[in-house]
Each structure stands twice: as structure tokens, then as C-alpha cells.
């Protein structure tokens, strides 16, 4: 008997297994099955990310955009594309934007863009500038430093966001502010519960600093909030922010379509003209103009619909109220004026912006790359002649609306109606609108 037990001991290393063998009088393989049933199961540990506060920018709050979507990051309901690989790792923090996946039910996923207000290098440089200028140190609590500024102290006392509170900020959206536009910002600021009021009573001190910081660095997320896509505005949907990252619906930049087929190029050019028209003439009587355009300013959704992908260079002039900054207020400068831009940048007077301003820039920088060398010679000659005249400033042959319609007449017959253009198919079969 002793020899049999010793033999078992050499074959069965698990004490629980040995006891079962002795108790059940069975062989080791049978005991193994019993031991498995008796042992508590060890849960499978899913590989996961421990989000760093530094990566998200939460360590810099409340000098940040907001925290409305942080839970989705931490619950892994927002994933970077690299998360779907076998080697999970956060992407480099040096990038300006990332492709990601977003879910509400853990089953269906959709693509999103995860974006910084500006590059991490510019953020870090601005943070050092704040500490150096306001506290005389290399590093500091940004919130404590910015709270001491005269501008923020005025924000704390203010009941309403007025033009003098945003004077001198570098955002093109605020170069010529009206009270009507500022009230819209407060009413629709999505990082706080909607109060439906033009007064800032529902904003805490923390909320006010976040709003001021966002407006000072990059007004892109604010534009997405106050002119939402569900109301027909040509912007991607704002989904929320966490620290210094914002999440919005995903689009492919227009640069990806410069080599597209002629009918696709014609379709995108027509949409681009329609966007410029809606930005100049709309029911709210705001005139939107670009201070700069490039191949990443516009984007295309998976259904072929073109939107404004980057709203950071959009200026707004209120055609009802006009600018309500008094003389000299546009030139005001403080630390918030220079967070990410050169404080010496020249101010462009509001009354110098013409109706064709944005169209001329698009004719110079985008439409030639989209339309050149795509069509039959006679059509191509007409397009090239228009683009050359438009790029020079349209001359004496009419304004922007007439020029847009002139190019649209050339392009309409060139686009097709098929499933590649899901945003208008099959409607284009039955409507002259498309």
C-alpha cells in the first residue's frame, strides 16, 4: 500500500488531486476531472489598457476641453485602431489625430476621429509659456496660474458671455463677435448639462475655464457643438471630449480623393460649392468664411457626403448684428491670445472680408487638384479657364454666387447616379435636385 501511495505521489503533484485519488480509489485521470469540477474556475483576463492621464491630457485639466466622454475611454467603448491588434498599445502621443472605433452596445462599432486641439509640442510650449509668464517657473499648476489672470477673473464675475470677455482671442470665430453668436455658444456648450439659457449661471468656475481655454486654443469643437450636423450644418458630429482629446464622427480627408474618377471628382466639387454657398447664405444670417484652406479642411463620409472636417480656420460675421467689439478691442493681447499662435499676427478687419473670399481660396488651393486633367478636352478647357479667373479674384464678371453657379453648370452633367454616392442614391433617380 505504501509503495502504491508513493507511486501516486510521484505522478500526482497537486495535493487536491492526491486526496481525490485516495478518497475515490480511482486512477489519476479520473481524479483530474473531479478536481477540475471541484476547483474554482480562474477567469480569463482580457488584455486592457491603463489609460494614462498624461496621454489624455487629464493631468492638465481644467486647462482642457472637457470630460464628457472619459467614461467611454475607460470602459473601452472607444478604441484606437491599434487596440484591435494582438499587441495592445496606446498610439504615440505626438500625433495630432487618430482613427478610432466607438460603440454604444459593445456589438456594433463605428469609426470616429480622435483629435487634439493642437499638436502636443504646441500644447507643451504653451504650458511652459503660461508658467513662465504668470508664475516665473518652468512648471506649474496651469489652472492655478490661469485663474489669476485679469481675463478669467472677469469671466468669474460675468453673468453673460459678452464681446469684451473674448476680445483679442486668436480664434477666427471670435475676431468679429456679436452678442447673438456668444449667446449661442453658452446655450449650446455641450460639456455641461443643457440649461437653455444665455446666462452662465449653470457654468461652474471649472466649466468657465474649460470654455475659455477651448476658445483660446482652437474653436473647432465649439463650432461642432453650436452648429450641429443634425440641424443640417456641414460639420461632423461632436461626440464629446476627454482632457485634451475630442471625439467626432470620422471622415476621410479630401486629399484622398484627388486621384478619384471624373464622376467622383465632379460630385465632390459640386458638394464643395454647395457648402460654400450655405456658409455664405443661411437661415441664421451668419456669414462663414475661411482664413485658410488645405487638403485636410474638408472630409468625406463613407456615404460620399462632403463635410467641413476642420473648422478651426472658420471666421463668422453676424449679418444681423455685426461685430460688437469697440475700436481697439480686437488688438487686445494677453496670455490667452498667445497660447498656440504668434502674438504678433496681424488682425484682419471684419469689413475687409468679401463674399467671394472663401471661393477664391478654394479655386487656388483645392479645386485644381481635384478637377485638373480629369475630363474631355472641351470640358476641361472650360473648367481650367474658370479656375484661373476665380483664383485671380473673379475680376469684374460678377460675384461669388454667380461664379459658383457658373462652375456648377459645367459640373452637373459630369456626375453619375449610382450606389457609389449613397448619400443621394436612389433619390437622384427621382429628383432634379441631385
pLDDT of residue 354: 87
User: Cβ(252)–Cβ(240) under 8 Å?
Assistant: no
| Gap between the Cα atoms of 154 and 3, Å rounded | 90
The runs of H, that is alpha helices, within 189-261 are 205-217, 220-226
pLDDT of residue 355: 85
For the chain, counts of helices (H) and of strands (E): 16, 10
pLDDT 10s digits, 371-407: 999 999 999 999 999 999 898 887 655 677 888 899 9
pTM of the model: 0.84
Position 241 pLDDT exceeds 80: yes
Distances (CA, A) of 434 to 274, 418, 422: 12, 11, 12
How would residue 260 be classed by pLDDT, with cut points 50, 70 and 90?
very high
Q: In this structure, what is the dihedral angle of CA atoms 354, 289, 278, 287, given to the nearest 10 degrees? A: -70
| Gap between the Cα atoms of 189 and 207, Å rounded | 10
| Gap between the Cα atoms of 337 and 66, Å rounded | 20
User: Cβ(262)–Cβ(414) under 8 Å?
Assistant: yes
pLDDT 10s digits, 17-35: 434 333 444 444 444 444 4
- Give 53 or 335, the one with higher predicted confidence: 335
Which of 30-39, 99-108, 154-163, 252-261 bottoms out in mean pLDDT, i.e. has the lowest?
A: 30-39
- Three cell numbers, residue 399: 460675384
Where are the chain's structural domains?
A: 60-120, 122-238, 255-308+344-430
Distances (CA, A) of 201 to 156, 205, 240, 241, 260: 10, 10, 22, 22, 51
pLDDT of residue 4: 42
Rounded mean pLDDT of the chain?
85
Residue 363 C-beta-side C-alpha neighbours within 13 Å = 21
pLDDT of residue 346: 60
Query: N- to C-terminal Cα distance for the chain?
Result: 92
Of 187, 129, 177, 163, which is closest to residue 334 (Cα–Cα)? 129
What's the mean pLDDT in 45-52? 55
Q: Which residues, other chains included, contact 85 with Cβ-Cβ below 8 Å and sequence gap of 6+?
A: none
pLDDT 10s digits, 192-219: 987 789 999 999 999 999 999 999 999 9
Residue 332 C-beta-side C-alpha neighbours within 13 Å = 18
Amino acid at each position: 500500500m505504501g509503495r502504491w501511495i508513493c507511486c501516486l505521489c510521484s505522478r500526482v503533484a497537486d495535493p487536491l488531486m492526491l486526496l481525490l485519488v485516495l478518497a475515490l480509489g480511482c486512477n489519476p485521470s479520473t481524479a483530474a476531472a473531479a478536481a477540475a469540477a471541484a476547483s474554482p474556475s480562474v477567469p480569463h483576463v482580457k488584455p486592457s489598457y491603463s489609460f494614462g492621464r498624461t496621454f489624455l491630457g487629464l493631468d492638465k485639466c481644467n486647462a482642457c476641453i472637457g470630460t464628457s466622454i472619459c467614461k467611454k475611454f475607460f470602459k473601452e467603448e472607444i478604441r484606437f485602431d491599434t487596440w484591435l491588434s494582438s499587441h495592445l498599445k496606446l498610439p504615440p502621443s505626438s500625433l495630432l489625430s487618430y482613427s478610432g472605433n466607438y460603440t454604444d452596445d459593445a456589438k456594433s462599432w463605428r469609426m470616429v476621429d480622435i483629435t487634439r486641439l493642437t499638436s502636443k509640442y504646441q500644447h507643451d510650449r504653451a504650458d511652459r509659456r503660461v508658467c513662465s509668464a504668470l508664475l516665473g517657473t518652468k512648471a506649474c499648476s496651469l489652472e492655478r496660474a490661469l485663474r489669476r489672470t485679469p481675463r478669467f477673473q472677469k469671466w468669474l464675475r460675468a453673468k453673460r458671455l459678452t464681446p469684451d470677455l473674448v476680445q483679442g482671442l486668436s480664434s477666427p470665430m471670435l475676431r468679429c463677435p456679436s452678442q447673438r453668436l456668444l449667446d449661442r455658444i453658452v446655450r449650446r456648450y455641450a460639456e455641461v448639462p443643457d440649461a437653455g439659457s444665455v446666462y452662465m449661471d449653470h457654468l461652474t468656475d471649472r466649466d468657465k475655464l474649460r470654455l475659455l481655454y477651448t476658445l483660446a486654443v482652437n474653436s473647432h469643437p465649439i463650432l461642432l457643438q453650436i452648429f450641429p450636423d443634425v440641424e443640417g450644418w456641414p460639420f461632423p458630429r461632436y461626440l464629446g471630449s476627454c482632457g485634451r482629446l475630442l471625439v467626432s464622427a470620422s471622415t476621410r480627408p479630401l486629399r484622398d480623393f484627388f486621384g478619384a474618377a471624373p464622376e467622383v471628382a465632379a460630385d465632390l466639387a459640386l458638394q464643395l460649392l454647395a457648402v460654400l454657398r450655405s456658409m455664405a447664405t443661411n437661415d441664421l444670417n451668419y456669414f462663414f468664411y475661411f482664413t485658410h484652406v488645405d487638403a485636410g479642411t474638408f472630409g468625406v463620409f463613407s456615404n460620399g457626403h462632403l463635410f467641413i472636417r476642420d473648422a478651426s480656420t472658420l471666421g463668422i460675421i453676424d449679418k444681423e448684428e455685426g461685430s460688437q467689439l469697440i475700436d481697439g478691442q480686437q488688438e487686445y493681447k494677453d496670455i490667452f491670445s498667445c497660447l498656440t499662435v504668434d502674438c504678433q499676427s496681424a488682425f484682419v478687419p471684419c469689413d475687409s472680408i468679401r463674399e467671394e473670399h472663401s471661393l477664391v481660396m478654394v479655386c487656388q488651393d483645392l479645386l485644381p487638384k481635384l478637377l485638373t486633367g480629369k475630363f474631355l478636352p472641351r470640358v476641361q478647357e472650360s473648367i481650367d479657364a474658370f479656375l484661373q479667373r476665380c483664383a485671380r479674384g473673379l475680376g469684374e464678371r460678377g460675384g461669388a454666387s454667380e461664379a459658383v453657379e457658373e462652375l456648377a453648370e459645367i459640373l452637373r452633367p459630369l456626375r453619375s447616379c449610382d450606389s457609389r454616392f449613397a448619400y443621394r442614391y436612389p433619390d437622384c433617380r427621382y429628383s432634379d435636385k441631385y
